[in-house]
Structure 1
Amino acid sequence: MVSFLSMERPAVEVFQYKDKEQSSNLLLQLNRLRQEKILTDVLLCADNTEIPCHRNVLVSSSPYFRAMFCNNFMERYKTKINLKGVTFAILSRVIDYVYTGLISISMDIVLPLMQAASMLQYGRLFEACSSFLQEQMSPDNCLSMIRLSEIMNCNSLRDRAKAMAMKSFSDVSASEDLCELSLPELMGYLEDDSLCAEEEQVFETLVSWIHHDPISRRGAISDLFKRVRLRYIHPTYLFQFIANDPLIQSSTLCTELIESVRRLMFSVSTKCTGDKAVDLEPLWVAPRRYTYHDMLVVMGGRKNNEQTSREALVFDESSQKWQRLAKLPMRLYKASYVALHSVLYVIGGLTTNTKYRQVSTAVYTLSLKTNQWRTAEPMLEPRFAHQSVSYLHFIFVLGGLGPDRQVTGSVERYNSMFNQWESMAPMPEAVLYPAVAATNQRIYVFGGEDATQNPVRIIQVYHISRNMWSKMENRTVKNVSAPAAVLDDKIYIIGGYTRRMIAYDTKANRFIKCANLKDRRMHHSATVLNNKLYITGGRYINGHDVIEDSDNFECYDPKTDTWSPKGTLPYKLFDHGSLTMASVSQTWAKSQDIM
């Protein structure tokens, strides 16, 4: 007779069964035994109140109790253990957690609960308290949380609180807690590259800290002032506000540092010279804090070939989306656009808001910090269709058309240190729509067209420190309405009624051919962002020799000599500005994305 089992499939030799409810049921039963005081063999006491427990459960749950009951300590032989440093209310919650795995954490008990978890070596409970505190963290209390983390020796809480303090330093610096920091602690923040603050804020913070206890802290001014990265402070703020601060004036070293910066800027040089300037060099070359982000801003121009635009857009590279900034107060046709000290300048142009068009001397500024437009000191001469370029603390305005609509070669310079304009040596040859770039104490003006709208094949070079021009003919140059941008010691001239892009090596005085554009482009704009060249909008000549407006947005990588698309602008645009601006705060980020 064949057995029943033999008719089935061959039996598995081992069947591994796992009861998923066994561990939770066991814990549940042990808790019931504890509550009914069955087989409990030790009493934990706090505030003269006893809690019956099982030694084996305590030993299994904590290294603290394992050491107490499994080594030759006197507690091993006692049936009643007095625990000091913990209240009955907290101890009872901890024991409930040991037997159930559940506990309610609130602000009124989190600190004594955390202390008890640390003492009794319940690591996961300790980290649960840390997580709870991290959820309650804000810029107002993160410095207090750091203090607490040091007392509790809690790395996770300290790291999170420190990160918030660094990220929200503008808010943290206004808190009373910051004034309680020690000098080494404050120095640690101010010298950290990841501090999310503008240098003006760094200076104001150290002043507030000193004023909190001026008698004992006044002597720290020079050490703290060295942590301010003077190179990235607006000259007006540095020389009109900081230089006149009584604390700074009381320190010989601080005043010498400021004077070194002043001499450096006046010399229009990037190298430190002179005996007193030696101390400045390591401070001057200190890198920009890497919480600054370079943002691509597109401004003004002719929108959808309908009217001059008041729009200002910023491109968020992380989300690959465009967002709106505050609108320019005035429509300005063929104004110029330039960035200096994280401020956007819109200079001159032809007003289109009024019945009679007027050539303007007006200058409007926009700070990404406030996202608000202001008027600045006007130019000396009204002009439009001109070029502007920044270098160190200067803005140079070159050429364009005056009120008589005649091409001018005049040049004027804005000194941001003194907030004033001054006339400079005129260009040797007045041209419209050249490619302009500044590098190595020189401004290069490539090509353009003359008063009869004929392209000119010349390079005009302005020596900034000497206020002198030189001119040389070059058959390679033939560009009109083409932007120029400086990248890796080369000046890139992009298009200009052609697909060609060439790079001018200023040191070798030679041109290098680069990858062509897809279309014959003009009236577009270019800027450098993260060591790449970004081209926006413009006009192009299609296959039927018809000029069309463009919403093109593309990027050139000089390392690979290749172009890649970056999507499109929100609308077609030409004769606009495309700029790179550094920012810490992003006040515009609250506005809705455009696309």
Structure 2
Amino acid sequence: MHGRWTAASTGPRCTSPHTSRGKPSRPTGILGCDRLRQEMASASREVYHFKDEELSSHLLSQLNFLRQDRILTDVLLCSDDQEIPCHRNVLVSSSPYFRAMFCSNFKESSQTRIDLKGITSGILSGIVDYVYTGSITITMELVLPLMQTASMLQYSRLFEACSTFLQEQLNPDNCLSMIRLSEILHCASLREKAREMAVRSFSDVAASEDFRELSLPELMCYLEDDRLCAEEEQVFETLLAWIHHDPFSRRGAIHDLFKRVRLRYIHPAYLFQFIANDPLIQSSTLCTEIIESVRRLMFSVSSKCTQELKPLWGTPRRYTCRETLVVVGGRKNNEQTSREALLYDERTQRWQWLAKLPLRLYKASYVSIHSILYVVGGLTMTAGDNVVSATVYTLSLKTNQWRTAEPMLEPRYAHQCVSYLHFIFALGGIGADKQISDTVERYNSMFNLWEPMAPMPTAVLHPAVAANDQRIYVFGGEDSMQNPVRLIQVYHISRNLWSRLETRTVKNVCAPAAVIEDKIYIIGGYTRRMIAYDTKANKFVKCENMRERRMHHSATVIDNKLYVTGGRYLNGHDAIEDSDCFECYDPKTDVWTSKGTLPYKLFDHGSLPLICVSNKPNPP
């Protein structure tokens, strides 16, 4: 009998999974995986998105190793007899220039050797390294050819990196050269930064040889720039220096350049004594006509100018000429008359100390005109005696030094001063005879002299005074018996004539007044009340009250907002206390907001706007 192999002879019989108990069976391991999968699915429904942050840099690194070993490289970039092996797909992916070269019907698409003329081998090698590594070293020796090549090969991020490097090298000596370079390279970012440097450091740039070589359109562009950091006197001197550098070909441009000077913000004495007498200006009929129009405007004491002068006269200040708040004099901490002068920096919201007044002046008057602070009159202590002063002190932020100006005709203190156009008016106060005065005198800044004007109809102390539209308004105050005077006295500047109006609305003493858009705001005065007198409609408007009853405080207007500082107030027990309060009122919203505090308590002081030329960019 022949033997036959059977399953039994080799061990236990394997049962088919399809025949066990009539049901299909599955391996135990698979059943376990299904159960685990179901449990995990029921436990969480979240999806895990994996991103390998190192993959791209690793891939680029490996491609660079392949390039260095010439593995799979399929094109040679050639310059100065040097061949640099590369991968077409890497070049195509990195630059629109190579994409167009290799993916279009250009002959280079089928060539294995590409000659890049006009590019040195060192620059080309550096750019290829940049493509494969993402890094490159930029130096002053390499930046220009590197920037030109990056522009040609359309590596925009490398081009901007070169621009950033050049921006870091900017200074007043090279910014004009950088502007010319940026125009050659068509680099907008470098041009804007270099121009910003030129207008911000105009004083230094204007003294350079490059500035004198500017073309007329380029110079005009600078003089028209609102960001120019310069006083208008310097703008005029700069254009003169530019003309004198090449007088034969440039003197004909004097009229066009002169129209770019913002004459409204030039001190009248400088305008009529220096500018008007300059030979270049006198040689131009059009320039002399402009100056005569300004002269007529000022002598007529009119705020309205001719049609020809309006575009020049109406030009706003440059952005860099910003109004800043200056607080000066007064009684400090109720101890003694202060010599301090403080400037408030809106950007940092901090106070800066300026040069101290030459001496202590009790109840002097404070006014600003042509970016100069005037401290007028006051009471001084000399050898134990009180002396009424006629002295006038001036302070310019440019020099931060006190100087004396022409003294008043009469000594006075506790008086009021107000400026209008190129005039300062000193009204009333107490004279040397210790009596309340009704006299008025006017300082003419064009000629540096004081002259007597028509006296006030009624002598008052501590009124609220403001000037608007050729008129000076004197609200309230008190008489010699310390009784409130319910009166508005109006002085017509051009006619040198007073008028008066009795009104029950006015009852202010020791209250300041300030003008915003034809409204005169009278702030407090032994009351919390603030009212606005509409000079056009001839009526009073009620405004939001202050928090306390205030007097002997000061107020001024900056950027059409009212700033109130210090003073004295009546507390809840009707006791008088000194204040270090610093508040701001916005007439558009009729809301008061706190600006913090003064460095010390202060009253009977001056609070004034002065123009500060700043080369710091404006806050956003």
TM over 0.5: yes
Return the offset for 1:290. Answer: 2.8
Match of 2:426 among 371, 389, 397: 397
TM-score, normalised by the number of residues in structure 1: 0.94
When structure 1 is superposed on structure 2, of 354-363 and 530-539 the one drifting more is 354-363
When structure 1 is superposed on structure 2, of 201-210 and 338-347 the one drifting more is 201-210
Query: In structure 1, the residue corresponding to 2:508 is in which secondary structure?
Result: coil
Give 1:121's aligned residue: 154
Give 1:6's aligned residue: 34
1:107-159: per-residue Cα shift (whole Å, max 9, x none)? 11111110110111111100100111111112222221111111001111112
Once the two structures are superposed, the pairs formed by residues 215-230 of structure 1 within 5 Å of their partners are 215-230=248-263
Structure 2: gaps of 5 or more residues? 1-27
Alignment pair present for 1:270 and 2:300 = no
Instruction: Name the aligned partner's letter for residue 391 of structure 2.
Output: A
Match of 1:179 among 212, 233, 237: 212
Cα distance in 1 for residues equivalent to 2:410 and 2:114: 90
Cα distance in 1 for residues equivalent to 2:48 and 2:521: 73
Query: In structure 1, the residue corresponding to 2:402 is in which secondary structure?
Result: strand
Alignment pair present for 1:476 and 2:505 = yes
Once the two structures are superposed, the pairs formed by residues 179-578 of structure 1 within 5 Å of their partners are 179-272=212-305, 277-352=306-381, 355-578=384-607
Asked if 2 retains the 8 angstrom alpha-carbon contact of 1:377 and 1:419, the reply is: yes
Give 2:67's aligned residue: 34
1:89-117: per-residue Cα shift (whole Å, max 9, x none)? 21111111111111011111111110110
After superposition, the Cα gap between the structure-2 partners of 1:494 and 1:18, relative to the gap in structure 1 and judged at 3 Å, is closer
Give 1:19's aligned residue: 52
When structure 1 is superposed on structure 2, of 572-581 and 448-457 the one drifting more is 448-457
1:495-546: per-residue Cα shift (whole Å, max 9, x none)? 1122222222222322222222222211001111222222111011122221
Give 2:7's aligned residue: none
Asked if 2 retains the 8 angstrom alpha-carbon contact of 1:385 and 1:400, the reply is: yes
Instruction: Name the aligned partner's letter for residue 148 of structure 1.
Output: L
Instruction: Name the aligned partner's letter for residue 142 of structure 1.
Output: C
1:9-32: per-residue Cα shift (whole Å, max 9, x none)? 447898754332222122112222
1:395-444: per-residue Cα shift (whole Å, max 9, x none)? 00111112222211111111111111111111122211111111111111
Cα distance in 1 for residues equivalent to 2:325 and 2:287: 35
Once the two structures are superposed, the pairs formed by residues 84-95 of structure 1 within 5 Å of their partners are 84-95=117-128
When structure 1 is superposed on structure 2, of 382-391 and 359-368 the one drifting more is 359-368
After superposition, the Cα gap between the structure-2 partners of 1:20 and 1:585, relative to the gap in structure 1 and judged at 3 Å, is closer
Structure 1: gaps of 5 or more residues? 588-595
Query: In structure 1, the residue corresponding to 2:394 is in which secondary structure?
Result: strand
When structure 1 is superposed on structure 2, of 534-543 and 33-42 the one drifting more is 33-42
Alignment pair present for 1:580 and 2:609 = yes
Query: In structure 2, the residue corresponding to 1:361 is in which secondary structure?
Result: strand
Instruction: Name the aligned partner's letter for residue 514 of structure 1.
Output: C
Asked if 2 retains the 8 angstrom alpha-carbon contact of 1:410 and 1:427, the reply is: yes
Cα distance in 1 for residues equivalent to 2:55 and 2:595: 57
Give 1:141's aligned residue: 174
Query: In structure 1, the residue corresponding to 2:395 is in which secondary structure?
Result: strand
When structure 1 is superposed on structure 2, of 490-499 and 557-566 the one drifting more is 557-566
Aligned length: 583
Cα distance in 2 for residues equivalent to 1:38 and 1:78: 18
Q: Identical aligned pairs, as a percentage? A: 75
Query: In structure 2, the residue corresponding to 1:359 is in which secondary structure?
Result: strand
Cα distance in 1 for residues equivalent to 2:334 and 2:58: 75
Asked if 1 retains the 8 angstrom alpha-carbon contact of 2:554 and 2:564, the reply is: yes
Instruction: Name the aligned partner's letter for residue 489 of structure 2.
Output: Q
Return the offset for 1:586. Answer: 7.5
Cα distance in 2 for residues equivalent to 1:353 and 1:59: 88
1:467-495: per-residue Cα shift (whole Å, max 9, x none)? 11122322222221111111121111111
Give 2:111's aligned residue: 78
Cα distance in 2 for residues equivalent to 1:299 and 1:488: 26
Asked if 2 retains the 8 angstrom alpha-carbon contact of 1:369 and 1:586, the reply is: no
Cα distance in 2 for residues equivalent to 1:150 and 1:567: 48
After superposition, the Cα gap between the structure-2 partners of 1:15 and 1:567, relative to the gap in structure 1 and judged at 3 Å, is closer
Asked if 2 retains the 8 angstrom alpha-carbon contact of 1:330 and 1:353, the reply is: no
When structure 1 is superposed on structure 2, of 296-305 and 399-408 the one drifting more is 399-408
Query: In structure 1, the residue corresponding to 2:51 is in which secondary structure?
Result: coil
Match of 1:51 among 84, 106, 110: 84
Alignment pair present for 1:100 and 2:158 = no
When structure 1 is superposed on structure 2, of 15-24 and 242-251 the one drifting more is 15-24
Give 1:593's aligned residue: none
1:172-210: per-residue Cα shift (whole Å, max 9, x none)? 222222222211111112123333322112212211211
1:205-241: per-residue Cα shift (whole Å, max 9, x none)? 2112111211111111101111111111111111111
Asked if 2 retains the 8 angstrom alpha-carbon contact of 1:369 and 1:585, the reply is: no
Cα distance in 1 for residues equivalent to 2:505 and 2:610: 32
Instruction: Name the aligned partner's letter for residue 79 of structure 2.
Output: A
Return the offset for 1:582. Answer: 2.2
Asked if 2 retains the 8 angstrom alpha-carbon contact of 1:298 and 1:576, the reply is: yes
Instruction: Name the aligned partner's letter for residue 150 of structure 1.
Output: E
Give 2:197's aligned residue: 164
When structure 1 is superposed on structure 2, of 2-11 and 147-156 the one drifting more is 2-11
Which has the greater radius of gyration?
2
1:260-314: per-residue Cα shift (whole Å, max 9, x none)? 1001000000112xxxx44212211122223321211111100100111111112
Cα distance in 1 for residues equivalent to 2:178 and 2:198: 10
Query: In structure 2, the residue corresponding to 1:33 is in which secondary structure?
Result: helix
Asked if 1 retains the 8 angstrom alpha-carbon contact of 2:320 and 2:615, the reply is: no
Asked if 1 retains the 8 angstrom alpha-carbon contact of 2:362 and 2:379, the reply is: yes
Across the aligned residues of Structure 1 and Structure 2, the Cα RMSD in angstroms comes to: 1.9
Instruction: Name the aligned partner's letter for residue 203 of structure 1.
Output: F
Cα distance in 2 for residues equivalent to 1:267 and 1:17: 80
Instruction: Name the aligned partner's letter for residue 171 of structure 2.
Output: S
Return the offset for 1:355. Answer: 4.1
Cα distance in 1 for residues equivalent to 2:53 and 2:462: 78
Instruction: Name the aligned partner's letter for residue 562 of structure 1.
Output: V
Asked if 1 retains the 8 angstrom alpha-carbon contact of 2:377 and 2:390, the reply is: yes
Return the offset for 1:450. Answer: 1.7
Instruction: Name the aligned partner's letter for residue 501 of structure 1.
Output: M
Query: In structure 2, the residue corresponding to 1:478 is in which secondary structure?
Result: coil
Match of 1:66 among 99, 118, 131: 99
Return the offset for 1:549. Answer: 0.5
Instruction: Name the aligned partner's letter for residue 169 of structure 1.
Output: F
After superposition, the Cα gap between the structure-2 partners of 1:339 and 1:15, relative to the gap in structure 1 and judged at 3 Å, is closer
Return the offset for 1:332. Answer: 1.0
